[in-house]
Chain A
Amino acid sequence: MSDNVSAFHLVLTADPALLAIVRLSLVVSLSAVFFAALIGVPFGAMMALVRFPGREGAIVALNAMMGLPPVVVGLAIFLLLSRSGPLGAWGLLFTPQAMVIAQTVLVAPIIAALTRQTIEDLWVEYREELGAMNIGPARRIVTLVWDARFSLVTALLAGFGRAAAEVGAIIIVGGNIDGFTRTMTTAIALETSKGDLPLAIGLGMVLISIVILINALAWAARRAGERYAG
């Protein structure tokens, strides 16, 4: 009970250490979702529309990648970015950028797989109309992504949920360095292991609140958009 009271105190007094962790967490997760969307949305749309040999297998593989284990991704990125790795010269290991890269790798398949399904469903609806209007392949993709934009919000939210809750990958490539690469999830894991429950609980409350807030904002934006555009 006293731990909970202390946790509330940290949140209500906007504890600087807590705020710094929250800020970094949001920057890392939202950046990862942004880059994952840049990759995943067009890739998913192309998977939905382009027919090629082995497409079914590629879809199964893409769907399977939604369940990539974070620690395995973290290990792979660690090996790539470590001094002896192929990208070691970039000096990114144990930086927020490395954490963004790891989370992008985790989130991109989720956004791509959900985009593929959404676009494919819409394409079934639109195929004849766009065919009758002689819309070329590139314009088809742009049209379908634009018209599915409100449905794709769900894909982005799923990606954000994955990024915000993830700890395995970023703790490996970020190192959980205090004041530099410490995020809410890595801090919760650390503080719990140290027995500093107030900070862990406070961060947990903030994390859950942020996830709920972002989902609520996205839901409101989606509903407003649907009312306007249909």
Chain B
Amino acid sequence: MSMRAPASDLPIMFVEAGILAGEVAILDRVSLTLGPGAPTVLIGPNGSGKTTLLRAAMGLIPLSRGRITWGGRDAAPSTRRAILFQRPVMLRRSAAGNIRYALASAGVPRAERAGRTAELIATIGLGGLERRPARRLSGGEQQRLALARALARDPAVLFLDEPSASLDPAATKSIEDLIRAIAARGVKVVIATHDLGQARRLAGEIVLLHRGRLIEQAPAAAFFTAPRTQEAKTFIAGELLV
């Protein structure tokens, strides 16, 4: 994995970004700036718009209104952002084959792919499982492999959607350790989760969404010790935010 300088694709700015599904606003005029630094964690209950925001940033869902800019530009080079879906789909290839495919799609020259694949396999701790069919790996191993596939794009920004949902504590710790290591190398990590514990462990900055609206954005320490909004207080207290 290459060391990244503060990325020129940052900050990512959502300007009055909105997504409508019929009459319903899934994302409601969200204005938000994501700068370089420690991971930003999007929190909120189910249906708050976290996943939609990540997918919009990836260009997988068009905005109904507003815009997203990358380092002041309207479009980022496509290979500089990557996403780990909540339920990543493994291509019907070996573990190494999945990574090689991602490397090829990112335009990595053929001669470099074997070396990069071995490096990424080592990074995610799947040594010895390179030739195993990806779909036969355990849930945690598949999640790590999907992370390696995302890293194959050498992204400046990495979006993670519920990266440890349905994983056991050991697998969750393994994923979180990887996320910390990735963030420490200068990749801007943006995580969507409804797991407050994970948010506390990983976040440098918290963004609280509710019903598609931005409720609060604050440094993690300030958010958890002195939340400014009633919704944030309710959510942190573990009460139902409806």
B190 at the interface (CB under 8 A from A): no
Is A134 in contact with B133, judged by CB distance below 8 angstroms?
no
* Complex contact B92–A132 (CB within 8 A): no
Q: Please tell me if the beta carbons of B102 and A230 are within 8 angstroms of each other in the complex.
A: no
Tell me, in angstroms, the Cα distance from A31 to B101 when the chains sit together.
Answer: 32
Given A134-B105, A135-B105 in contact, is the A229-B92 Cβ separation under 8 Å? yes
Chain A residues, Cβ within 8 Å of B208: none
Distance in Å from the Cβ of A166 to the closest Cβ of chain B? 32
CB pair B133 A229 closer than 8 Å: yes
Taking a contact as CB atoms under 8 Å apart, the answer to whether B88 and A129 are in contact is yes
Stretch at the interface among B76-84, B108-116, B117-125, B228-236: B76-84
In whole Å, how far is B136's beta carbon from the nearest beta carbon of chain A?
Answer: 6
Q: Mark A51-70, 1 if CB is under 8 A from B, else 0.
A: 00000000000000000000
Chain A interface size range? 10 to 19
Determine whether the beta carbon of A134 is less than 8 Å from that of B91.
Answer: no
- In the complex, what distance in Å separates the CA atom of A12 from the CA atom of B93? 44
| Residue of B58, B82, B101, B106 with most chain A CB atoms under a 10 A cut-off | B101
Determine the distance from Cα of A150 to Cα of B133 in the docked complex, in whole angstroms: 14
A229 and B105 contact, CB distance less than 8 A? no
Asked if B89 and A230 sit within 8 Å, CB to CB, the answer is no
Interface residue? A196 (CB, 8 A): no
How far, in Å, is A121 (CB) from chain B's closest CB? Answer: 12
Tell me the B171-220 residues at the A interface (CB within 8 Å).
none
A143 to B93, CA, bound (A): 11
**Cross-chain contact A132 with B82 (CB below 8 angstroms):** yes
The digit string for A139-168, where 1 denotes a CB below 8 A from any CB of B, is 100010001101000000000000000000
Say whether B94 faces chain A, with CB atoms less than 8 Å apart: yes
What 0/1 pattern do residues 126 to 167 of B give for CB contact below 8 A with A?
Answer: 000000011110000000000000000100000000000000
Known: A133-B102, A147-B93. Is A128-B133 also a contact (CB below 8 A)?
A: no
Whether B88 pairs with A134 at a CB distance below 8 angstroms is no
* Contact residue among A128, A129, A150 (Cβ-Cβ distance under 8 Å from B91): A129
On whether A133 and B105 interact (CB within 8 A), knowing A227-B133, A228-B133, the answer reads yes
Task: Give the complex CA separation of A133 and B150 in angstroms.
Answer: 8
In the complex, the answer to whether A230 meets B79 with C-beta atoms within 8 Å is no
| Cross-interface CB contact of B97 among A128, A134, A229, cutoff 8 Å | A229
Contact of B58 among A126, A132, A226 (CB under 8 A): A132
Task: Please indicate the chain A residues that have their CB under 8 angstroms from the CB of B97 in the complex.
Answer: 229
Chain B positions within 8 Å of A135 at CB level = 105
Q: Which 7 A/B pairs are nearest by Cβ-Cβ distance?
A: A230-B133, A230-B135, A147-B92, A134-B78, A133-B105, A129-B89, A132-B83
- Beyond A132-B60, A132-B85, A133-B105, 15 additional contacts (C-beta under 8 Å) are A126-B89, A126-B91, A129-B85, A129-B89, A132-B58, A132-B82, A133-B102, A133-B106, A134-B78, A139-B105, A227-B133, A228-B94, A228-B133, A229-B93, A230-B93
Chain B positions near chain A (C-beta within 8 angstroms): 58, 60, 78-79, 82-83, 85, 88-94, 97, 101-102, 105-106, 133-136, 153
